[in-house]
Structure 1
Amino acid sequence: MAVMEAEAKGFPDLVIKEVPHPLGSASAEQAFQYGGNIAEAIAKSLTEPSSTTESKSHEKEFEPITFDMKMDNPLEFFDRVNEYFYNQKWSDGLPFIPPVPERVKEMLEHTSHSPYESLGEFPPAWANTTVEKVAVNAVMAGCRPNYFPVVLTAVQALLDKRFNLYAIQATTNPVTPLIVVNGPIAKELKMNSKANVFGQGNMANLTIGRAIRLCMLNIGGALPGEMDRATQGQPGKISFCIAENEEDNPWNAHHIEQGFSANESTVSVFGVAGTHNILEQTSTTAQNLLIMIAGSMTPLGINNMTIGGEVLLVFSPEHAKLIEKCGFSKKDVQKFLYDNARVPISQFPEETRKQLLFKRREKWFSNVPEYYSVPVVDYLEDIKILVAGGAGAHTTFMPSFGAASRTVTKLIE
């Protein structure tokens, strides 16, 4: 990855030195030794001339191929394009729509931006992200042209520094962006916000989410096992896009909470590490339900327990209405969960507390008694709340990448 990123930044001959892995579990003595060794190697590289280049070029070679869009057999054209793109690692592994110029042009007709306008550099390859490149990937994903403003805005949200896409693209963590659409455009595009909202069956949800992933692959360069270093990954890395169920939401929708009006349409991006279903069918009070939810938010091994950051709860309408009926606002829910979604320090293994937690959430672990409890987030506002889904007593909990990434919401033009 270091070699590829150096090339992308214009330094193909950069000398690269490696620190041994893993570092997180190293003792103080081991870390000191690692530091001494790497400092010595760096000094040597900077001061001693070398006749050989220590980095290896990762530049990809390929032979151009000509496709005839007017050939007699359209299926052959489709198959050849798909096969060629797949061999060049320009796809997500699924069949895609060939991005012929006519289809890309149709996509670009749904934005006032110039095709050559730059949205910024797309990490970790740091490629120039033009509107046209986003349109090409939207065509490949199967998006209808009127979906393009959502895709374009989602890419702009990803590139916002607060979201820290670089860290999300290149980590060993399975984190992936969840795209959430609010406002009138969700209904215009017939997006799913209700039953099976995270699942199959809706063209807009799935193709918009897939377009984002293709941009992350083809513009950002995050190919699995290369720049994308995810240890195991997750299914959300194929497509992960929903609309919030504003119709059945007893509280203000997410975009209204962010200062937008009900008549405005927005895209939000959340960096989430996975989904955990919380089933609770017996509760008749908000307190009982929220205690069950709080207990589901505190497994020791999630990123948030060790490095903080935001978490996301997606309440079903049934759960949300019960809570609101009992007089709880969103802020009340955040406060209750902040106070109750906690783990006593005594439950953390001693080695973990010494090696990791003192370094990353020091204020919760340093010089406090063992009966002291650590909250899943540092601030109650870091508990993000949405309402989506259909009938049923379920809530989905989504831990995040941690403190390195923050939720971003953008207005759709």
Structure 2
Amino acid sequence: MQLASTVHELADPWVAQEFYHSNGWTDGLPIVPPTPEAVEACLEWAMTPPDQLLGVEPVRGVPITAEKLAVNAVMAGCLPMHFPAVLAAFAAMLQPEFLLHGATSSTGGCAVAVILNGPLRREIGAVGGFNALGNSDRATAVIGRTIRLSLINVLEVRPGGIDRSTLGHPGKFSYCIAEDEEDSTWVPLHAQRGVPPEASAVTVMAAGAPRQIMNEWTTKPEEILETFAAEIRANMRHYSIWGGNYIMVVPKQLRDHLQGAGWRKSDIAEFIWKRARIRRSEWAEVGKAAVVREEGDREYAALPSPEHLLIVAAGGPAGGFGAIIPPWLGLKSQAVTAPIGVCIDCEPIDCGPVAE
């Protein structure tokens, strides 16, 4: 296998750390030296040639090849079996509706959230249980970290350069979760979004930091969901009034109450769509009266439609907690789902309707 990347001969791993840091090639954490053998192993596992072009960043015209992603995957700590998910995630991020350049250069400071679905989760040990939004397992940690390192090293998205984030958030180190499909009666996210349920897929979204909620004082679905809806309304008041995709993470304790009452994801989405909306006049209550003007009675919905809510079953088995992950820029940047291990040049698959 012929690689195009420059090879640097370094004395030992400690020298390699300083070499990579001094060149600005890291996220501030130690990296795994990307030897040619390790890079080739990733490419061979994914059966992808080094020069496979995933796409071209549309604003600056930067080509993104499989080899460059494999280099960063090794640096992030990926094993070869993790690499197909990285390829699929970047293919999804390159879709026009994701708005990659805007998401990586905005002062808003979003990060790329990645959701894993399908059999690949079990194969690579991606866990959707305890600490699902933290360092729950190796697979989600290194896949999420690869996304950030690739943005830094392939697209030069560095703080103060292209990355103009005022604050950012910790998801910029790694922001990847796996849906807990085995301990849920709900249709997995990828199946809801047109990928066959027996296939594996990634969903990417330009996202703000998680906003955790808690409600341990009821078992009624409407009351549980009202807590989630209130957190979305709070985001609309405090951050952005514009509707788009929201991720709703539902751990097992609250999920059991919802599923026990027969609530499907579609029922939940319908409820949240109706309840997660505010009037422009509410901005006056949080210090934004100057922008209310004569439009105070205008209503804004967090979700343009119920389908814009991405419901993910994930989290530990105990505790009445959940999380809302808000969008970066409403509908200007939309979530994208892509199958893993499917040729990116193939015709779209018509999956037909999926029953819940």
Give the structure-1-normalised TM-score: 0.76
Deviation, 1:373, is: 4.3
Partner Cα separation in structure 2 for residue 400 and residue 297 of structure 1: 10
Q: Distance in 2 between matches of 1:140 and 1:337?
A: 40
Residues 209 and 326 of structure 2 are in contact (CA less than 8 Å); yes or no, is this contact kept in structure 1?
yes
The secondary structure found in structure 1 opposite 2:255 is helix
SS in 1 for 2:216: coil
Q: Note if contact 1:316-1:387 (Cα within 8 Å) is conserved in structure 2.
A: yes
- 1:375 is the counterpart of 2:310: no
Q: 2:264 matched to which residue of 1?
A: 329
Of residues 306, 312, 334, the one that matches 1:386 is 312
Distance of aligned partners of 1:243 and 1:86 in 2 relative to their CA distance in 1, 3 Å threshold: same
* Distance in 2 between residues matched to 1:203 and 1:327, nearest whole Å: 34
Q: What secondary structure does 1:348 align onto? A: helix
Change (3 A) 1:66 1:310: closer
Offset of residue 376 of structure 1: 2.2
Please say which structure displays the higher CA radius of gyration: 1
State the distance in 1 between where 2:87 and 2:276 align: 36
Is structure 2 residue 199 aligned with structure 1 residue 264?
A: yes
Q: CA deviation at 1:151?
A: 1.1
1:399 corresponds, among 323, 326, 339, to 326
Instruction: Find out whether 1:151 has 2:93 as its counterpart.
Output: no
- Corresponding residue of 1:141: 76
Is 1:67 the counterpart of 2:9? The answer is yes
For residues 283 and 304 of structure 2, the distance between their equivalents in structure 1, rounded to whole angstroms, comes to 17
SS in 2 for 1:269: strand
Please give the secondary structure, in 2, of the residue aligned with 1:233. Answer: coil
1:233-382 correspondence runs (5 A): 233-299=168-234, 300-303=237-240, 305=241, 307-349=242-284, 352=288, 355=291, 366=295, 370=297, 373-382=299-308
Number of the residue aligned with 1:95 = 30
Whole-angstrom distance in 2 between the partners of 1:378 and 1:260: 22
Match of 2:51 in 1: 116
Q: Contact 2:130–2:136 at 8 Å: present in 1 too?
A: no
Q: Give 5+ residue unaligned stretches, structure 2.
A: 1-5, 342-356
* Counterpart Cα distance in 2 of 1:210 and 1:183: 20
- Residues 307-329 of structure 1 show CA distances to partners (whole Å, capped at 9, x for unaligned) of 22211111112212212322322
State the one-letter code of the partner of 1:156.
Answer: A
Once the two structures are aligned, what percentage of the paired residues are identical?
A: 31
1:383 Cα shift?
Answer: 2.0
Residues 1:105 and 2:51 aligned together: no
CA 1:172 to 1:124, structure 2 compared with 1: closer, same or farther past 3 Å? farther
Structure 2 counterpart of 1:180: 115
Extract unaligned runs of 5+ from structure 1.
1-63, 69-75, 359-364
Q: Given the two structures, how large is their TM-score scaled by the length of structure 2?
A: 0.87
Q: How does 1:141-220 map to 2 (within 5 A)?
A: 141-220=76-155
How far the C-alpha of 1:174 sits from its partner, in A, is 1.9
1:175/1:257 Cα in 2 relative to 1: closer, same or farther (>3 Å)? same
Q: Distance in 2 between matches of 1:348 and 1:232?
A: 22
Counterpart Cα distance in 2 of 1:116 and 1:344: 51
How far the C-alpha of 1:79 sits from its partner, in A, is 1.7
The 3-state SS of whatever aligns with 2:97 is: coil
Deviations 1:47-85 (A, max 9, x none): xxxxxxxxxxxxxxxxx99525xxxxxxx5212222112
- Amino acid in the other structure paired with 2:322: T
Local SS of the residue matching 1:298: helix
Cα 1:122–1:81 change in 2 (3 A) is: farther
Aligned residues: 331
SS at match of 1:224: coil
SS in 1 for 2:98: coil
1:175–1:123 Cα change, 3 Å? farther
Deviation, 1:218, is 0.5
Assess if the C-alpha contact under 8 Å between 2:280 and 2:299 holds in 1.
yes
SS at match of 2:121: helix
Q: Determine if contact 1:125/1:221 at 8 Å carries over to the other structure.
A: no
| Amino acid of the structure 2 residue aligned with 1:302 | Y
1:408 paired with 2:331, answer: no
Per-residue CA deviation, residues 134-158 of structure 1 (Å, 9 max, x unaligned), is 1100111110111111111111111
- Residues 66 and 191 (structure 1), Cα distance of their counterparts in 2 relative to 1, 3 Å cut: closer
Which 4+ residue blocks in structure 1 deviate beyond 6 angstroms? none
| Contact preservation (8 Å) 1:330, 1:385 | yes
